[in-house]
A and B are shown apart, each in its own frame.
Chain A
Amino acid sequence: MELRVIEKTDTELSIEIAGEDHTFMNVLKGALLESEGVEAATYDVNPEQSGGQTEPILTVKTQEDVDALDALEAGADRVMEKADDFRSAYEAA
């Protein structure tokens, strides 16, 4: 997984996450949207129909008091938490 920041302000972040597809991006986007302080989150795997570029670009907008990069980290934490919970729920069944 290689990250490349495309645009960054305190409350806005566009970042390319190379090597990922819908499987992970949609889960991450879903987790971000559920997070406190995140106003918008989306991703695009074929931005602007730009010739050949197919690495997903994640865009996050946060509320004023939240740093977008921190929100992304919290989103990743949240996905891990979901995965752990799913696993333990499955194993308990």
Chain B
Amino acid sequence: MAPDYDVEFIDRGDRDREARFLVRDVSPAFANGIRRAMIADVPTLSIDEVRVIENSSVMFDEQIALRLGLVPLTTPDDYEIGETVTLALDVEGPGTAYSGDLVSTDDRVEPADKNVPIIDLKDPEGSETPQRLEVEADAVYDVGREHAKHQGGVAVGYRHLQTVEIVGDADEYGDDDPHILRGVIEEDGELIPTEEFDHDLTQRYPGKEVEVHDVPNAFVFHVETDGSMSVDELVTQAVDTIHGRASELKDAVQL
């Protein structure tokens, strides 16, 4: 009765941030559990408290703080929930303060993207000093359930793997409307992403009438992270959170 999963990669995007993979023989409940765990239960570091030393920019401290909170930070996996790292930012105008200007006390923690604009700082005419932003910020390690800024997975979902059955010839004088299908189809054991035929089944099976069926218990996951960790880390950590809760339940039941 042991589950017997089979995972196969369909494509891996560059920089480890995006991947599409097929899992076979997985129950819908478990597939959804993993999807939800990837979104809400895998913790990441995110700025949560900001100490504003100087802010002569045109935006309020709170607005700047919100923007800093939304910057994805690379997250090592040896942090504990609630643990913090301190970062600093000091930029003077004229010019733009970017996420890449953040300096961290832990060199494994840095902005996942260096080119996220925080705010444009001016050197206004007639002013003695240019606008300046100097802050110190604490990033905290927490889960997406607490705040969306902690979500590691930003575009996580799955579709059924599908098969296409040819049921006959298309009506000769019928409309030649496209038959759009998005996802991955299986054809004689071969996996074909629908991009290959422009998501249009009439291109792949011209003149045929087709029926599309879901392959039971086979799901094509699409996972994209915000850069705080790789897809592999996100998936394995999500599975581990489910495992962790099951073992916690077992321990609690035994008492």
On A, residues with C-beta under 8 Å from B are: 1-3, 17, 20-24, 26-31, 34, 36, 69, 72-73, 76-77, 79-87, 89-93
Looking at the assembled complex, report how far the CB atom of A54 sits from the nearest CB atom of chain B, in whole angstroms: 14
B66: interface (CB < 8 Å): no
- Interface pairs (14), CB distance under 8 Å: A1-B249, A3-B249, A3-B253, A17-B249, A26-B32, A27-B33, A28-B246, A79-B245, A83-B240, A86-B30, A87-B236, A89-B5, A89-B6, A90-B7
B236 lies within 8 A of A23 (CB): no
A26 lies within 8 A of B246 (CB): no
Stretch touching chain A among B20-28, B156-164, B193-201, B206-214: B20-28
Majority DSSP secondary structure for residues of A touching B? helix
Complex Cα gap A83–B236 (Å): 9
B167: interface (CB < 8 Å): no
Looking at the assembled complex, report how far the CB atom of B157 sits from the nearest CB atom of chain A, in whole angstroms: 15
Stretch touching chain A among B36-44, B53-61, B117-125: B36-44
B8: interface (CB < 8 Å): yes
B9: interface (CB < 8 Å): yes
Give the A-B pair count, Cβ closer than 8 A. 106
Residue of B23, B236, B242 near A24 (CB, 8 A) is B242
Q: Tell me whether A79 and B4 are in contact in the complex, defined as CB-CB below 8 angstroms, given that A1-B248, A30-B27, A93-B21 are known contacts.
A: no
B29 lies within 8 A of A27 (CB): yes
Looking at the assembled complex, report how far the CB atom of B125 sits from the nearest CB atom of chain A, in whole angstroms: 55
Residue of B nearest to A82 (CB): B3
Q: Which residues of B contact A90 (CB under 8 A)?
A: 7, 21, 232, 235-236, 239
Looking at the assembled complex, report how far the CB atom of B192 sits from the nearest CB atom of chain A, in whole angstroms: 18
B33 lies within 8 A of A76 (CB): no
B254: interface (CB < 8 Å): yes
Q: Which residues of A contact B3 (CB under 8 A)?
A: 81-82, 85-86
